[in-house]
Amino acid sequence: MQEHIDTFLVSVGKERGLSANTVAAYRNDLEQFAAFLGSTYGLGSWAELSPTELADFIAYLRQRQYAETTVARKLAAVKSFCQFLKEQGILEANPADRLPSPKVGRFTPRAITPEEVTALITAASSDPSPEGLRDRAMLVTLYATGMRVSELTALDVGDVDLERGLVRVNRNPERPRWVPLNPEAIATLQEYLQTGRPLLVQRPDEPALFLNHRGSRLTRQGFWLILKQYADQAGVPEVTPHTLRHSFALHALSQGCELRELQRILGHVSPATTLVYQQLLQQAATSPDGRLLSKPASGYNEAMTQGVTIVPHD
């Protein structure tokens, strides 16, 4: 990935006649972007880049309260670089084409109400096909655990322990992260594993938990399209995979989950990142209707607030 950054900087420096300082600033911005993608999503190739990661990078910058001019410069560098990757044939389309210029301020995660979460899960529950069982299991698991969509699609069958009610979200031996599953998540995963996945899998040695119609691991982009389909059916606008993560975090705090435990569950390195949800909770508590803090959806993981002790496997 670094090689493409170097090539781009040489190219843009010559074509635009940029100063050494501007090229150095672009290098810093793109290397920060690459480091973010590696640490957050584990991306090893620019070909895997999608609008999801770009949107999350903007959110990442907002959380750190960069000056507006700094964010604008970083976004300009990323947009130019994405266009370069498209021209080089590394990307089929420029994922930054429709990326708006950010209105930088304090980042506030967007959550949806428990009723809207229920509507999404209900929409997926109406399809008894193997794909429908998969989709319901994915939505319930995502909301029950608050994991990132990249972590959801990276799950292998061996990461799920239904007997103990645990899922291993991160296989990094230095930072293992086990998260409890609630009864609904266990039930939907069990039904998918017993009834749905056997009809999707094509290779007996396929490790991926969630499969597409070709029997291969479902991608982040594939899940995005699935979520959009159910959001349209349920009449829930502007939902992204991260919206369910934000909703889980807000609902967990509203039900008494400790901030430090939520940080561990979400996999945040810095407590400051998790603190944003506490601030959102305070805003929601003073809203006129209080809909964001009504009774959590059925897929909410009550284990978060019941003092559950997570004992990692050996």
Least confident of 25-34, 52-61, 177-186: 52-61
pLDDT higher at 190 or 298 = 190
Average pLDDT score over residue span 151-173? 89
pLDDT at 95 over 90: no
Supply angle C-alpha 6, 94, 22, rounded to 5.
Answer: 40
Question: Residue 74's closest CA among 52, 54, 48?
Answer: 54
Q: What is the pLDDT of residues 219-238, one digit of tens each?
A: 988 999 999 999 999 998 88
Least confident of 80-84, 247-251, 253-257: 253-257
Residue 91: HSE in the Cβ half-sphere, 13 Å Cα cutoff? 21
Average pLDDT score over residue span 14-43? 82
CA distance 36 to 15: 28
Place 292 in a pLDDT band, splitting at 50, 70 and 90: low
Average pLDDT score over residue span 44-63? 84
Place 192 in a pLDDT band, splitting at 50, 70 and 90: very high
Supply angle C-alpha 160, 109, 237, rounded to 5.
Answer: 85
**Bridge partners for 179 per DSSP:** 167
DSSP character at residue 116: H
Tokens of 25: 């600033």
Are 2-87 and 114-305 the same fold in CATH?
no
Contact partners, residue 60, CB within 8 Å, separation at least 6:
36, 40
CB of 249 closer than 8 Å to CB of 292: no
CB of 200 closer than 8 Å to CB of 213: yes
Q: What is the pLDDT of residues 112-129, one digit of tens each?
A: 888 898 999 999 998 999
Q: Which sequence spans correspond to the domains of the chain? A: 2-87, 114-305
Instruction: Give, for 161, the enclosing helix (H) or strand (E).
Output: strand 160-161
Q: CA torsion sign, 237 to 249 to 104 to 2?
A: negative
- Domain 114-305 CATH superfamily: Intergrase catalytic core (1.10.443.10)
pLDDT higher at 219 or 18 = 219
**By percentage, how much of the chain surpasses pLDDT 90?**
35
pLDDT higher at 40 or 311 = 40
Place 136 in a pLDDT band, splitting at 50, 70 and 90: very high
**Bridge partners for 168 per DSSP:** 178
The contacts found for 88-97 with CB under 8 angstroms, 24 or more apart, are 88/4, 90/4, 90/46, 90/47, 91/46, 91/47, 91/49, 95/49, 95/50, 95/51, 95/53, 95/54, 96/51, 96/54
Which range scores top for mean pLDDT: 102-116, 189-203, 244-258, 277-291? 189-203
Residue with tokens 């993608």: 37
Q: DSSP for 255-311, please give it.
A: TT--HHHHHHHHT-SSHHHHHHHHHHHHHHHTSSS-GGGSSPPTT--GGGGTTPPP-
Amino acid at 249: A
- The two beta strands, 166-170 and 160-161, are antiparallel
Max CA separation in the chain (angstroms): 62
- Mean per-residue pLDDT over the chain, rounded: 82
CA distance 293 to 128: 31
Cβ neighbours, 10 Å, residue 11: 13
User: What is the CATH number that goes with domain 2-87?
Assistant: 1.10.150.130
